[in-house]
Amino acid sequence: MKILVTGNLGYIGTVLTQELIKEKFNVTGLDTGYFKGCKIDKTQNNFKQIIKDIRKIQYKDVEGFDSIIHLAALSNDPLGEINSKLTYNINYLATIRLAKLAKLAKVKRFIYASTQSIYGISKTTKELSEDGKNKNPITEYAKTKWLSEINLKKISDKNFTICFLRPSTVFGPSPRFRSDIVLNNLMASAYTSKKIIVKSDGSPFRPVIHIKDVCNAFISCLKAPSKLINNKAYNVGFKNGNFTIKEIAEEIKRKFPKKELIFTKEHGNDSRSYKVSFKKILKDLKKYYKPKHNIRQGIIELNNFFNRINFNQNDFNSCKTVRLIQLNKLIKKNKVK
């Protein structure tokens, strides 16, 4: 099966590409290259790579593929607020255009990387399901993802399967590691300094998921019958996968007992708190999607990863691992416009 992965040179895409190759898929990557150089570990070049802005994709770029996994997006909330038009054009308009070209080229499946950010601010007394009337996107990033979901549904049919995956906050090693997402950030803080720094009071809930389990979810949607997944959205996570930030930080503290755990509360109680239900994916895709990692394993794995690559404070706070720093750098050079 020939697979096109857009955004394959990002944090998730770099790992997903190799997981697909392990499964014997014929993989081509398409990426604008914004994060191509953001490497803290060696990458493999065992697949075809197209460097191209997703907004400039043409029919010939999608012709001949059986399936497309669409990861490419501007995924940083602060940038979305700085330049909402850019986020709209890349995340929404380019997505719809890509899907229409794929359908025209007789691509059979289009698996879309959406986000749990579409739920916005919610009460944490109830786990949010995929199909409830609980969509409240706050940021430009979340709005464009939800708008894409709504309009992609209009494009799908029995010959063009579209599935929507809404991953939890991802953690775990990648050659293009991100230190600006919660568990990775707290681990990087613990590893490179004497402190585990939480910038809220620790009370917000965050669903989390290991990067390889996310990859497994995408691969599951390539293998599952079309009738099972067509026009369906799935929260991607594992059973009991909702944690407060305090719980995550305390788990890291167990690994690093000599590190000081500090709650700066500079973000107040952080209203971005939500719990998500994973019953649907664990039921519908139980033959295909089998998450294998928990946060304790992930912490140990990240510690070993940091040891192997000699991860340091410069890596933690640089454009290599903080996406907004890299994007601002590219904007100043007029390479993002």
Q: How high is the pLDDT of residue 136? A: 86
Domain range for 129: 2-177+208-242+271-293
43 belongs to a structural domain:
yes
The CATH number of whichever domain residue 234 belongs to comes to 3.40.50.720
Which two structure tokens, joined as six digits, stand for 248?
A: 């995550």
49 belongs to a structural domain:
yes
151 belongs to a structural domain:
yes
> pLDDT 10s per residue in the chain (337 long)?
999 999 999 999 999 999 999 999 999 999 999 999 999 999 999 999 999 999 999 999 999 999 999 999 988 666 666 678 899 999 999 999 999 999 999 999 999 999 999 988 766 668 999 998 888 888 899 999 999 999 999 999 999 999 999 999 999 999 999 999 999 999 999 999 989 999 888 988 899 999 999 999 999 999 999 999 999 999 999 999 999 999 999 999 999 999 999 998 776 544 567 899 999 999 999 999 999 999 999 999 999 999 999 999 999 999 999 998 998 899 889 988 8
Q: How high is the pLDDT of residue 76? A: 67
Q: How high is the pLDDT of residue 78? A: 63
- Give the distance from CA 302 to its chain's centroid: 17
309 belongs to a structural domain:
no
Which of 51, 44, 41 has its CA nearest to residue 6?
51
Q: How high is the pLDDT of residue 81? A: 66
330 belongs to a structural domain:
no
Q: Which amino acid is at 229?
A: I
> How many structural domains compose the chain?
1
For 161, phi and psi rounded to 5 degrees? -80, 130
Q: How high is the pLDDT of residue 272? A: 67
196 belongs to a structural domain:
no
- The answer to whether 240 and 173 are in contact (CB under 8 A) is no
77 belongs to a structural domain:
yes
224 belongs to a structural domain:
yes
Q: How high is the pLDDT of residue 121? A: 75
